[in-house]
Amino acid sequence: MRSPSWMWDELLLACALVVENGWRELREGDWRVDELSNLLRSLPLHGDKARSIPGFRSTGSVSRKTTDLATNHPSYQGKATRCGRLDHEMIARFTADPVTMLKAAKAIEAGISSGELARIPEQPDEVAEDGATALEGRLLARWTLARERNPKLRQRKIDRARRIGQPLQCEVCDFHFGRFYGGLGKDYIEVHHVTPLHVSGPCETKLEDLALLRSNCHRMCHRNHAGESWRTPGMLRAMITESGASRRP
């Protein structure tokens, strides 16, 4: 078996290391390469079989990947190594917004070190429906979807809305499941984290961090589009207003 291709999450961590090293490659024997190799081998992305493949995310393969990322940066003066589309996209992302990308890498590292990410099973819809790779990658998308599907968190948000007299309707388009579907839609609404993990980092969720959304608006807040992998409910509401579209179902 050959080692599986590098995924977005893995490239994110490798490129973060290159950026922190001043956009320079890292050689075998560097303790940071050893550390990243061990981390990549622990990621819940390729299954247990991959770890038995000789060379799978070895220190040599990690070092070579840092070379690919460093030598294909626009400021590099020498001859670039050959690399793939995702490598180039990752370089472009880090070049355009290094702060946000480094935060995303740190969030993955924190989730792995705490053991939380390893406990979360694969989630439906963790890969964008258009096939594009969101900024967060599969692991942070998995984490986000898992926490937004937490029934206890959803119930706490709904109970809070009832106590303060807030209608159980979408905070973007005002859609109310109960009014539209009658008894079938009574008390139904989805819960969305306003700030994604790659911005907030792993933190305790407060009810103020959550929004009540209709299913369609929820997906639009998460959809990877035109270089943006997320938007707040307020941003989405403004986009609807600007486009002149009706917020009615």
Quick: pLDDT tens for 29-66: 999 999 999 999 999 888 888 888 989 999 999 999 99
- Check whether 79 has a pLDDT greater than 70: yes
Residues 6+ apart with CB under 8 A from 43: 9, 10, 112, 139
- Check whether 245 has a pLDDT greater than 80: no
The pLDDT mean for the chain works out to: 88
Q: What is the pLDDT of residues 126-160, one digit of tens each?
A: 766 555 566 778 888 888 888 888 888 889 999 99
Mean pLDDT of 12-20: 97
198 closest CA partner among 12, 41, 4, 11: 12
Q: What is the pLDDT of residues 99-120, one digit of tens each?
A: 989 999 998 998 888 888 888 8
Q: Could you tell me if residue 22 is left (phi over 0), alpha (psi between -120 and 50 degrees) or otherwise beta?
A: left
With beta carbons less than 8 A apart as the criterion, state whether 67 and 34 touch: no
Please give the single-letter amino acid code of residue 241: T
Instruction: For residues 65 and 52, give the distance between their C-alpha atoms in angstroms, rounded to a whole number.
Output: 20
The label of the residue with tokens 């992305």 reads 45
Q: At what angle do helices 31-42 and 8-20 cross, to 10 degrees?
A: 160
In the DSSP assignment, the letter for residue 225 is: B
Model pLDDT, residue 195: 83
With beta carbons less than 8 A apart as the criterion, state whether 138 and 233 touch: no
11 closest CA partner among 98, 118, 91: 91
